[in-house]
Structure 1
Amino acid sequence: MPLSYAFVNLKPGVGKTTSAVWLAHALHASGFSPLLVDSDPASSALRWSELAGGFPFPVCALPVGDVHLRVNDFLGGRQAVVFDAPQMEDHAHITRGIMRYAGEWIVPVTPAPIELDRMAPIDREMDDMQSLRAEPARAAVLLNRTNRPDATRTGPDADAREALVERGFDVLSTYIPRLDLYAQSFGSSVEVKGTAYMDLAEELIKRQDTV
């Protein structure tokens, strides 16, 4: 089975598409051959690929509830699959299909109080989905759009990290700073190497090795 990652959250606008696109590029730069699956009916990742003149890996649109049954038809021997999931609150059936397939669920979270409050229903949804799987998925939080200028012992926004850990969430060591580069541009002139998403890819690959 390929490596498989899904970016999921209840709400839109939390960085799911940005994270999925950049992780797919980071995996490609790391020597893997990813497939990026755009399962959001808005087709943001697919449109991003078109505006960039194409990505160096395939992007397929599968905004369907049985996405878990269809993905393998598009793999073509690819070593990794990255899912851009729609927001659960509006498209739960699609997100649940993705979560039935992906081996790693990643929840991008901006370190703000209202975002942390939304983690309880996400946690309940993840618990429900685990019961539908033959093998449990790994779930982790990705601190995204961090904006504290001074790093602490555990990185920017350490209080948000501490609060999530206290609630029982697995928080990735990598954090993504707030940069317009990540959200607003991607093309041949942008280099993924040396970015936080390369660190994220490395951490996720190492996590897979420990399974």
Structure 2
Amino acid sequence: MIVALLNQKGGVGKTTLALHLAGEWARQGKRVTLIDADPQGSALDWSQQRARENLSRLFTVVGLPRDTLHREAPELARGVDHLVIDGPPRVAGLMRSALLAADLALIPVQPSPFDGWASAEMLALLGEARIYRPQLAARFVLNRYAARTVIAHETVETLADHDPPALSATIGQRIAFADAAQTGRLVYELADDTPAAREIVALAAEVGRIAP
């Protein structure tokens, strides 16, 4: 299964969610490779920080910010259970290639009208990709979600009848994600039974049920 986390807008949490999805599946004993397709290389930086901290490698991280990704990803997917792509912001060629490679596109959005406007470009690219890959599945993922805020409720209502729909699993605004990233860790490695760790477990489970 190839899962790509994509959005034209930067700063929506693609890398955080990609790393934690890969980490959760690895924790379950799955064989996982993560492709860092973002020229900024944040997932690679995380992996290098993990090595400096002398932490065990949970999964392989490969830098591949090229628009030939759709041709190279199937080879990387052989021999693993999950291939996770951390996509780039604002690089249409790379994003098209990631969409053509993926079985499932996850679109992280924050409860904000600005994220909604940026997602329109993403949906246009998704529509283009489905011309060639009509079986491509897609879902929004609500990230940094504060359930009690008005904007959060408005965002949920907006996405309720949307195509693609939003996942039921949401990820809250948690300082644990920033704390983990600084040391090359994942939230479950800081503390296993926390809201952040439970949210990632729920996200991985729901994604696993959707993808072919």
- Counterpart residue number, 2:145: 146
Distance 1:68 1:184, change over 3 A: farther
Does the Cα contact within 8 Å between 1:175 and 1:196 map onto a contact in 2?
A: yes
Match for residue 195 of structure 1? 198
Deviation at residue 16 of structure 1 after TM alignment:
0.5
From 83, 104, 109, the equivalent of 1:81 is 83
- The residue that corresponds to 2:15 in the other structure is 17
Quote how far apart the aligned CAs of 1:164 are. 1.5
Instruction: Compare the two structures and name the one with the higher strand fraction.
Output: 1
Distance (Å, rounded) in 2 between the aligned partners of 1:140 and 1:183: 24
Kept in 1, the 8 Å contact 2:2–2:77? The answer is: no
- Out of 163, 172, 175, the position equivalent to 1:177 is 172
Q: Is the 8 A contact 1:116 1:164 kept in 2?
A: no
Q: Which amino acid aligns with 2:200?
A: Y
**Conserved in 2, the CA contact under 8 Å of 1:39 and 1:85?**
yes
Residue matched to 1:62: 64
Uncovered stretches (5+) of structure 1, i.e. residues with no partner: none
Name the amino acid aligned to 1:122: M
Contact kept in structure 2, 1:25 and 1:192, CA below 8 Å: no
Change (3 A) 1:192 1:92: farther
Structure 1 residues 29-178: aligned runs within 5 Å: 29-53=27-51, 55-75=57-77, 77-87=79-89, 89=90, 91-133=91-133, 135-149=134-148, 157-178=152-173
Contact kept in structure 1, 2:147 and 2:153, CA below 8 Å:
no
Q: Distance in 2 between matches of 1:13 and 1:162?
A: 23
Gap runs ≥5 in structure 2:
none
Aligned counterparts of 2:192 and 2:15: Cα–Cα separation in 1: 16
- What amino acid does structure 2 have at the position aligned with 1:97? S
Q: Distance in 2 between matches of 1:76 and 1:105?
A: 19
SS of 2:125's partner is helix
Q: Which has the larger share of helix?
A: 2
TM-score normalised by structure 2 residue count: 0.86
Distance 2:129 2:27 in 1: 31
Question: Percent identity, aligned pairs only?
Answer: 26
Structure 1 segments (4+ residues) deviating >3 Å: 72-76, 166-169, 191-194
| Residue in structure 1 matching 2:207, options 186, 192, 204 | 204
CA 1:105–1:162 in 2, change beyond 3 Å: closer, same or farther?
same
Structure 1 residues 136 and 177: CA distance shift in structure 2, 3 A: same
Counting matched residue pairs gives: 200
